[in-house]
Copies of this chain bind each other. A is one copy, B any other.
């Protein structure tokens, strides 16, 4: 099996503050423990590229970080793009679209 690309958003609920950047930063730091997973921070999510098992482990680590920082409820959304007729990468997907613009 090849690599998947997954998009992840981890949102703590009931945090009493509308600002989430500190929570997002903690999620990003958790990714340092997954050196085989490539990550890209966007204004709405984190996009991950790697083997399914490693990506899911990274997502679970990100999902735990708000609890470690005081949250008692977390919503995590994951979108997985898994293509098996040929390898996909974040870079390759972007390049394929841009070549058609």
Q: Which of these, B7, B44, B97, contacts A21 with CB under 8 Å?
A: B97
CB closest chain-B residue, reference A45: B7
Copies in the complex: 4
Listed in ascending order, the chain A residues whose CB lies under 8 Å from chain B are: 5, 7, 9, 11, 13-22, 24-25, 28-29, 40-45, 47, 52, 56, 60, 63, 67, 72-85, 90-91, 93-94, 96-101
Task: Give the dominant DSSP class at A's interface.
Answer: mixed
In whole angstroms, how far apart are the Cα atoms of A73 and B24 in the complex? 16
User: Beyond the given A11-B75, A28-B97, could you list 15 further A-B residue pairs with CB under 8 A, ordered by the A residue number?
Assistant: A13-B13, A14-B19, A18-B85, A21-B99, A29-B101, A41-B94, A41-B97, A42-B42, A44-B79, A63-B82, A73-B84, A73-B85, A75-B81, A77-B79, A78-B78
With a cutoff of 8 Å between Cβ atoms, the chain B residues found around residue A99 in the complex are: 21
